[in-house]
Amino acid sequence: MPLLDLLPLAASESNLLAAREQMAFTLAFHIVLSCIGVALPATMMVANYVGLKKGDEHALELAKRWSKAMAVTFAVGAVTGTVLSFEFGLLWPEFMDRFGAAFGVAFAIEGIFFFVEAIFLAVYIYGWKRLAPWAHFWSGVPMVITGIGGAFSVVAANAWMNQPQGFTLNAAGEVVDVEPLKVLFNPATGYEVAHMVLAAYMVVGFLVASIYAVGMLKGRRDRLHRLGLVIPLTIACIATPVQLFVGDTAAREIAADQPAKFAAMECIYETGPDQTEYFGGICTEDGVKGAIGIPGLDSFLVGWSTDTKVIGLNSIPDDEEPPAHTLLHLSFDAMVGIGSALLGLALWFALAWWKRRDIPQTPWFLRAVSVSGGAAIVALWCGWIVTEVGRQPWIVNGYMRTSEAVTEAEGIWFTFGLVLLLYAGLGTGAVLVLRGMSRRWREKGAEEVQSPYAPQAEEAS
């Protein structure tokens, strides 16, 4: 059903739909790799630090393995990120033409962070054998900063599309003056950046932990697996409660600043107080079908009182209304639902650790952790669907419609098809390569765990 809402009204809009689908698909693919680039370095550095400080070979081995895995994901992320830069011009040339001067700045800054990350990642990944252990550790630290800096720049650009400011247009609609700081620090930057960085830490934390949880369920209950589960899971479990707080703040900000998006994602049709909060269901013009509704809760969440007036879709001009209400509503609910479930998992883990300094002893805990990584990714995608589809029909909220931005070039359905094939190969290849690495590590077993910094140790002795 949600996909039907996306179908174009006229054949002339076919190109626009193809371009939007291709952009959405390539972004969804890339965002997972971006998360790894943003948050895996910190996870690695924690393991590396523990390893060096306590002489813990298992922790060092984990850091080493994660860095080898990141060599693969970073390469795939670098090329899929490049595809996105090309798509700005290939799919949305009018957008770049009119607004590149305003929001391009954010990407220029991102370029520097990406540069530094690529450089130090190479030093870190390939420096295991021949750099001194602590020098090697410090060569990885810049990645933690550049990951967050890069996320800031890119998400600031997206936040600007939601809350554009910091530019002056002339009568012809051309950008004639720019205030770069206002572009970068627009009203949506704060919550979007925090939300995304925390999401990256959650995705990586739960994803890495889930890999080791699967291993433990298969009976590999050695120390390496326990550490491989506990380190990333701890990071994710610290990020999760903060994320729910940030997300809650973001929703209130969106209610105030982007009422059309908020109305669509909450299925609010009539402006007014006492709005019902709907969980699930299908949004129709005659109201929400099949949902669990709590009267007044939506108004309460927006303004701490059931009297809070919330703008409904009837107050939004028809041609400025976001499409696919049900998709938006269900995506939002799925994101919040998964986030809450992950919070439950975090509390379970925290409680067990506090009581017994150990993970919960039931296999159900490992089962929960093993699906948490996938769930976190689904939540991430749902959040971006709300952000991006919820901004439609605008590409620059209130200033430029997505239909005005799209290329006149034909054949986007064709390139989209090619991209689907190409990325299917890319994704399959990456997964196979990573699984192969993991299998080889398992087969080599203990002797490789001995000494990641072996050559130094040999030279020293």
Binding site for another protein (CB under 8 A): 68, 71-72, 74-76, 78-83, 85-86, 88-90, 93-94, 96-102, 104-105, 107-112, 114-116, 118-123, 125-131, 175-180, 407-409, 415, 418, 422, 426, 429-430, 432-433, 436-437, 440
Q: Which is nearer to another protein, 125 or 250 (CB)?
A: 125
Q: Which is nearer to another protein, 143 or 198 (CB)?
A: 143
Which positions ≥6 away from 15 have C-beta within 8 Å?
406, 407, 408, 410, 412
Instruction: Write down the least CB distance from residue 398 to another protein, Å.
Output: 20
Burial of 428 (0-12, 13-18, 19+ CB in 10 A): exposed
**Separation CA 230–CA 351 (nearest Å):** 14
**Separation CA 332–CA 328 (nearest Å):** 6
Instruction: Write down the least CB distance from residue 456 to another protein, Å.
Output: 12
DSSP assignment of 384-403, as one string?
Answer: HHHHHHTTTTEEETTTEEHH
Instruction: Write down the least CB distance from residue 370 to another protein, Å.
Output: 24
Instruction: Write down the least CB distance from residue 78 to another protein, Å.
Output: 5
Q: Which is nearer to another protein, 143 or 346 (CB)?
A: 143
Q: Where are the beta strands (DSSP E) in 101-182?
A: 167-169, 175-178
Q: Which is nearer to another protein, 83 or 327 (CB)?
A: 83
Instruction: Write down the least CB distance from residue 215 to another protein, Å.
Output: 20
Q: Which is nearer to another protein, 211 or 268 (CB)?
A: 211
Q: Where are the beta strands (DSSP E) in 148-290?
A: 167-169, 175-178, 277-279, 282-284, 287-289
Instruction: Find where tokens 């391009």 sit.
Output: 104
DSSP letter (8 states) at residue 461: -
SS3 state of residue 104: helix
Determine the straight-line distance between the first and last CA of the chain, rounded to whole angstroms. Answer: 68
Instruction: Write down the least CB distance from residue 23 to another protein, Å.
Output: 14
Instruction: Write down the least CB distance from residue 33 to another protein, Å.
Output: 12
**98 — phi, psi (to 5°)?**
-80, -40
Question: Hey, what amino acid is at 215?
Answer: G
SS3 state of residue 283: strand
Cα angle for residues 220, 224, 226 (degrees, 5° grid): 75
Q: Say if CB 188 and CB 206 are below 8 A apart.
A: no
Q: Which is nearer to another protein, 177 or 270 (CB)?
A: 177
Sign of the CA dihedral running 163, 321, 405, 418: positive
Instruction: Write down the least CB distance from residue 406 to another protein, Å.
Output: 11
Q: Which is nearer to another protein, 44 or 311 (CB)?
A: 44
Q: Which is nearer to another protein, 366 or 396 (CB)?
A: 396
Q: Residue 389 corresponds to which tokens in the numbers above?
A: 């589809």
Instruction: Write down the least CB distance from residue 389 to another protein, Å.
Output: 24
Q: Which is nearer to another protein, 353 or 399 (CB)?
A: 399
> Which residue in 452, 455, 450 sits closest to 130, CA to CA?
455
Task: State the Rg of the chain over Cα.
Answer: 24
Instruction: Write down the least CB distance from residue 104 to another protein, Å.
Output: 3
Q: Which is nearer to another protein, 17 or 422 (CB)?
A: 422
